[in-house]
Amino acid sequence: MYKCLKVTFSANFPEGFLSDFVQKHAKNLNLEGTVQVMSMNNKVRVVVCGPKDDVDQFIDLLHKGTPKYSPEDIEIEAYAKDKDYRGVFRVIE
């Protein structure tokens, strides 16, 4: 089963976190979508699509975070895929 989610969270994360952590894990799980910082208060939006089990594993990784980063105010909602991500997970800066 294919699944798409929109995840928003805020956190104090280090420089390069989006590409070094989020994008890396999405690529390892063969997921597609985007991640971007939405505002100056470090609010992040992730759109992720792929096989249900892989998307669920990706969400678990986001919840766990890293030793230096802990997510706050995580919101997860179903997302209707409206773009063709062409099998790639991109960081939008």
Task: Label each residue of the chain as H, E or C.
Answer: CEEEEEEEEECCCCCCHHHHHHHHHHHHCCCEEEEEECCCCCEEEEEEEEEHHHHHHHHHHHHHCECCECCEEEEEEECCCCCCCCCCEEEEC
- Its pTM surpasses 0.75: yes
Tens-place pLDDT, residues 15-63: 788 888 899 999 999 999 999 988 777 789 999 999 999 999 999 999 8
Which domains does the chain carry?
A: 2-92 (3.30.70.100)
